Amino acid sequence: MPARSSSRFWLWFGSLSLLSAFLLFQVQPILSKFILPWFGGSPGVWTTCMLFFQMLLFAGYAYAHFLVKLPRRWQGVVHGLLVLAAALLLPITPSESWKPAGDEDPALRILLLLCASVGLPYFVLASTSPLVQVWFTRASGGAHPWRLYALSNAGSLAALLSYPFFFEVRWDVAGQTAMWSGAFVVFALLSGFLAWRDRQGGAAASVGPVADEVTPGAPVVAAPPAGTPDEDSADQAAPAETPLAEDEEDADPAPGWWRRLAWLLLPALGSVLLLATTNHVCQDVAVIPFLWVVPLSLYLVTFIICFEHERWYRPAWWGAGAMAAVFLAAVYGGEAWAMASGVSLPWGGEFRLPWTDGITYKAELGVCFTAMFLAVMVCHGELTRAKPSPRHLTAFYLSLSAGGALGGLLVSLVAPRVFDSYREWPLALVAVFALAGLVWVRELARKRGRLRVVGAPLVALLLAGGLWGIQAWSPRQEPRIEQVRNFYGVISVEEGPDEESGDVVRYLYHGGIMHGLQRMASYERETAYSYFGRWTGMGRTLARIQARQEGSVGVVGMGTASALCFGRRGHRWRFYEINPEIVRFAKTHFTYISDFIDRGGLYEEVVGDGRLALEREPPQNFDALLLDAFSGDSVPMHLLTREAFEIYARHLADDGIIVVNCTNRYILLASVVERIAEELGFGTTRIVTDRDGFHEITEYVLVTKDEEFLAANPPSSPWPMESVEVSLWTDQRHNLFEILEKF
């Protein structure tokens, strides 16, 4: 082929491959962020979205696999019509009619929402990479398409890395969906042109040296010369596989069942590690695109390394690194990690490595992401070692995509219904530790001299890892009254004696974070502790209302409902709680609600997202609206935007107060709240308290137009208060990097 022709082919097909991969991975964080406020800001939103994208990726690969088996003259027609139909469904902005009412299965609704909004466009994009490779191989006369695969990976990685650092900080999600839809139109035109060109090439195949139906990487069979009996063969259905000579078939036997099983299970384990790691870190910080994109980018990098540069995967080295990183990820957090994962530590009680006391946010993410990267490298490295010959590549890629979808299915739908905690995280670590250990043993066994030198340390390490693995499978030994897991996370109730008085104390945990307690002795049962003490910002606000004969209080986020200690006869308290299990726990294991009702107070509850419920309700005329909706230690960002506070203000009495719990280990939420209050014409005061017995460290920002209350409660803190300059947060645009100060 002339050099100019080859360059032209590369330009057209390379552009389509790059653009399709970019759009394929860019739409994932865009739509996930768009619908996040509708479903309570839970990490389950991202894992459910990932399940949808993985399933459609598999469907797209399957479609491409079977499309090339049609007569070539029909392939372009079918695909062209599909691309046109996808373009007609633009823009991809989800309709607000999909907002949940509060009583439906959120995972199912997210899947249906995504299917209606972006299902067909994403399906078309997912099928593009294998189709482009087929079209290129035909048009170029049999050139290998692997550079297109590398370009596709580069486009995917560019989409992921550019989103949190470029697109997210410059445009709101409405603008992002509009730009994506515009780029899809360009993709549709280019895709339609190349599909038409491929069809034209099929019609002329009998008079030129263009290859007939070829799967990516398969041997190329040239078309017969014009005038032969097979002249019209280009219009016939392509064979399922390129025929080989008998001796070639003997040298290229079909892969065994164990090999095909590896094609499925290794990518499934990698997918589980990706999503379980994302869930794990989001529980403690915030559910934001940055914490979705980083692990997904690392996951993609492992594919690039393993599939494009096989020499980079040295099993012994990667296996040793994976074992060390996985073990560190298992023990760096000591008791906090065990509580969040629902497992008992092998050595019992609390344990921390010497350098992990006061581990920072950056270090915590570094440990988790490093362990995930090295673990997935082993999975994908071993996958490349099991690759088949080009004859079976389409089956290989189908199995690979099916494994990814299987991993997403296990984390998103199966695990919340089977486990009462995030056990897929430690169990995936155990599985990959065992895999890495086997890889290490296999490589060292090939070099017997080295095996003698490292034999004893190796056996000791594997035994330690095995002991830890057994413990990870076993339930925690600490007494738990009850523990459940659902779409919104893991909640549990524990109790134990007070060391000083011996009185029974009952605790509510969300993941590894304590969300309230109650001292069960009769003389202490109606006293508020943890984050709700009388001298906290919340306590000061509620003490003011407690002195009134009548009062109305709204609470977003129930917890143990211990704020009800400030309620009395003649008061109305209305709780908004998205997690029905929290409501059940508060009524079953704690007595704050029943005690308030016995005192003659009016108790009301709304099960559903607090913001969406308030948006639909008429004004409630609250004297105070308490915002205390946290998942673990992460923050539902949709509760902290200008639009959200406009809704809250509509429900306040003239002298009403919005009480925002800004207590967080990593981020300066107070600056966001103060900026929004300033924009809406409210005054603020910030109240910070230190730990004291059963009272936790707290930070509250009180938002009100009552100047008398603000004067009586000036800002106070036992240490210098931190503030940062932030932009105005809105539903469409907010940037967590502005407030990531507590490192």
- The shares of helix, strand and coil residues in the chain, as percent rounded to the nearest 5, are 60, 15, 30
Identify the CA nearest to 516 among candidates 421, 630, 686: 630
Amino acid 198 reads: D
Local structure of residue 634 (DSSP, 8 states): B
Question: Does the residue 688 lie in any domain?
Answer: yes
The bridge status of strand 571-577 relative to strand 551-556 is: parallel
Last residue of a domain, one of 189, 216, 243: 216
DSSP string, 311-366: GG--HHHHHHHHHHHHHHHHHTTHHHHHHHHTB--TT-S----GGGTT--HHHHHH
Identify the CA nearest to 574 among candidates 557, 594, 599, 591: 557
**Average pLDDT for runs of 10 along the chain of length 743:** 55 87 90 80 77 89 85 85 92 84 78 92 90 79 64 84 83 86 93 82 43 33 33 34 40 74 92 87 63 84 77 83 82 48 43 48 80 92 81 76 89 83 82 85 69 55 56 53 84 85 86 82 83 88 91 93 93 93 94 94 92 91 89 65 94 95 80 93 94 82 95 90 83 72 46
State residue 202's pLDDT score.
54
Q: Is the dihedral angle over the CA atoms 284, 287, 288, 294 positive or is it negative? A: positive
Which residues are within 8 A (CB) of 743 and not within 5 positions of it... i.e. 6 or more apart?
360, 361, 362, 666
| Both structure tokens of 683 | 């005054």
Q: Kindly provide the b/e burial profile for residues 93-129, where b requires at least 16 CB atoms within 10 angstroms of the residue's own CB.
A: bbeeeebbebeeebbebbbebbeebbbbbbbbbbbbb
Question: Does the residue 84 lie in any domain?
Answer: yes
Instruction: Examine residue 91 and say whether the peptide bond preceding it is cis (omega within 30 degrees of 0).
Output: yes
Identify the CA nearest to 589 among candidates 521, 517, 526, 527: 517
Decide: 681 and 705 in contact? Cβ < 8 Å: yes
Question: Does the residue 100 lie in any domain?
Answer: yes
Last residue of a domain, one of 216, 241, 268: 216
Decide: 635 and 286 in contact? Cβ < 8 Å: yes
Residue in the block written with tokens 């990959």: 432
State residue 118's pLDDT score.
92
Question: Does the residue 224 lie in any domain?
Answer: no
CATH number of the domain within which 686 lies: 3.40.50.150
Q: Within 10 Å of residue 619's Cβ, how many Cβ atoms?
A: 11
State residue 40's pLDDT score.
67
Question: Does the residue 258 lie in any domain?
Answer: no
C-alpha angle with apex 306: 305 to 309, nearest 5 degrees? 65
Q: Within 10 Å of residue 265's Cβ, how many Cβ atoms?
A: 18
Query: Reading across the β-sheet that carries 698-704, which strands appear in turn?
Result: 602-607, 571-577, 551-556, 622-627, 652-661, 698-704, 683-689
Amino acid 716 reads: S
Long-range contacts of 721-726 (CB under 8 A, 24+ apart): 721/670, 721/686, 721/688, 722/668, 723/668, 723/670, 723/671, 723/674, 724/668, 724/671, 725/671, 726/671, 726/672, 726/675
Element (H, E) at 504: strand 504-510
Identify the CA nearest to 184 among candidates 24, 31, 323: 24
Which residues are within 8 A (CB) of 529 and not within 5 positions of it... i.e. 6 or more apart?
517, 518, 519, 562, 694, 695
Element (H, E) at 687: strand 683-689
The bridge status of strand 652-661 relative to strand 622-627 is: parallel
Which residues are within 8 A (CB) of 568 and not within 5 positions of it... i.e. 6 or more apart?
546, 551, 599, 600, 601
Question: Does the residue 428 lie in any domain?
Answer: no
Question: Does the residue 346 lie in any domain?
Answer: no
Residue in the block written with tokens 């049999």: 142
Amino acid 264 reads: L
Question: Does the residue 37 lie in any domain?
Answer: yes
Last residue of a domain, one of 172, 190, 216: 216
Decide: 554 and 545 in contact? Cβ < 8 Å: no
CATH number of the domain within which 64 lies: 1.20.1250
Structural domain for 531, as ranges: 512-739
In the chain, the number of structural domains is 2
The residues that bridge with 624 in the sheet, in sequence order, are: 553, 657
Identify the CA nearest to 540 among candidates 688, 697, 723: 688
Q: Is the dihedral angle over the CA atoms 401, 402, 405, 411 positive or is it negative? A: negative
